[in-house]
Amino acid sequence: MYSVYTLIFFERREKLRMIEIKNLTKQYGQITAVDNISFTANKNEILGFLGPNGAGKSTTMNMIVGYLPPTSGQILINGMSMNDNPKEVKKKIGYLPELPPLYLDMKVIEYLKFVAGIKHVPKSECERQIARALSRLKITDMKKRVIKNLSKGYRQRVGFAQALIGDPEVLILDEPTVGLDPNQTMEVRNLINMLRTDHTIIFSSHILQEVSAVCDRIVIIDKGKIKAVDTKENLITGSADDIVYIVRVEGNYADVEKELRQIQGIKNIMDIQYVDDKTSEFKLELEDEEVRKKIISDLTEKDFSIIEIKRLKMSLEEIFASYTRGRAFAGIDTGDSNKE
């Protein structure tokens, strides 16, 4: 289910492509870290970027923010090319790396003024932008506190604040919830949804639960290549090559199994569960959806009573595994445990 924020902005936003990545490639000698990838993000969209360790996520983020030059391809922010106008494009991007670049001995207000100077924010705009960032992050009362004396949650808010300085149209967030406790994580989720009112956001994370909870669409990347780009709902209902059904049947299980094995289009009987003396449940892998009709027809013709037949939906974890084959959970957190 989408959040209320998502539904509102899907209805109201302009269908404007704020971020366009075209045939982006990064090579290090003979090694291709990012291999001819393309994707887009619309205005006010939150795009999740998900992949195992070494998949090319960080390399892609560093190219988008202008820290790393691509070997080939284009990065367009609101129609402007990073290749042709790097200084102007960088002004349109706010970046929160996994480890926020905080100067711990500075006060919050001093640090944000320092960031504004680095970003060449006009003096006439500096106070307004800092005040707005402090207000949006709800840290105005903390502005005179030394950063090293803040909790991890508040330090993360300061990291968000520095990304907002310069009024960027795009925010790139790299693992923004890592190391936060559940309450702080929920605060960051709410914060990201609030920030979409003025920004397009790319949210890179290895935590499946966070991507699922926050993002409108998900990009799955592995070994430098894009494996899928879609909404969570579309990935779950239409992504899998494997079509798996649960069929619960009343009748002698051996007879039912024998009949099922004779039906063309059933690739595999994956599992059999004996519900009771009269009822069995079969997990079947099918070649296509048409086989379902054949199962119903053949079992009914043999006087077996079909109690239930339903397609088994894959979880986001299973979908991720299907796209990354053998590297499924290398560095991937399902969200069941909290990192300190």
Read off the DSSP letter of residue 170: E
User: pLDDT of the chain along its 340 residues, tens only?
Assistant: 555 555 555 544 445 899 999 999 999 999 999 999 999 999 999 999 998 888 899 899 999 999 999 999 999 999 999 999 999 999 999 999 988 889 999 999 999 999 999 999 999 999 999 999 999 999 999 999 999 999 988 999 999 999 999 999 999 999 888 878 888 888 889 999 999 999 999 999 877 788 888 999 999 999 999 999 998 888 876 654 568 899 999 999 899 999 999 999 998 898 899 888 889 999 998 988 899 999 999 999 999 999 999 988 777 777 787 777 644 434 444 454 433 3
> For the stretch 84-97, what's the b/e string if a residue is b when 16 or more beta carbons lie within 10 angstroms of its beta carbon?
eeeeebbbbbbbbb
Q: Which two tokens stand for residue 337?
A: 């445990």
**Residue recorded with tokens 């009269």:** 278
Structure pTM?
0.74
Record: fold of 4-92+168-238: Rossmann fold (3.40.50)
Q: How far apart are CA 244 and CA 284, in angstroms?
A: 6
* Sequence spans of domains, the chain: 4-92+168-238, 243-311
Q: Is 327 left (phi over 0), alpha (psi -120 to 50) or beta?
A: alpha
**Start-to-end C-alpha separation, the chain:** 29
Read off the DSSP letter of residue 107: B
Please state which CATH number belongs to domain 243-311.
3.30.70.100
Q: How far apart are CA 163 and CA 171, in angstroms?
A: 7
**Residue recorded with tokens 């966070």:** 210
Q: How far apart are CA 123 and CA 146, in angstroms?
A: 23
SS3 assignment, position 279: strand
pLDDT in tens, 218-272: 999 999 999 999 988 888 766 545 688 999 999 998 999 999 999 999 988 988 9
Q: How far apart are CA 156 and CA 282, in angstroms?
A: 49
Read off the DSSP letter of residue 124: H
* 4-92+168-238 and 243-311: identical CATH topology: no
**Residue 27 β-bridge partners:** 32
> For the stretch 249-262, what's the b/e string if a residue is b when 16 or more beta carbons lie within 10 angstroms of its beta carbon?
bebebeebeebbee
SS3 assignment, position 256: helix
Smallest CA-to-CA distance from 90 within 197, 168, 38, 26 is with 168
38 within 8 A of 19, measured Cβ to Cβ: no
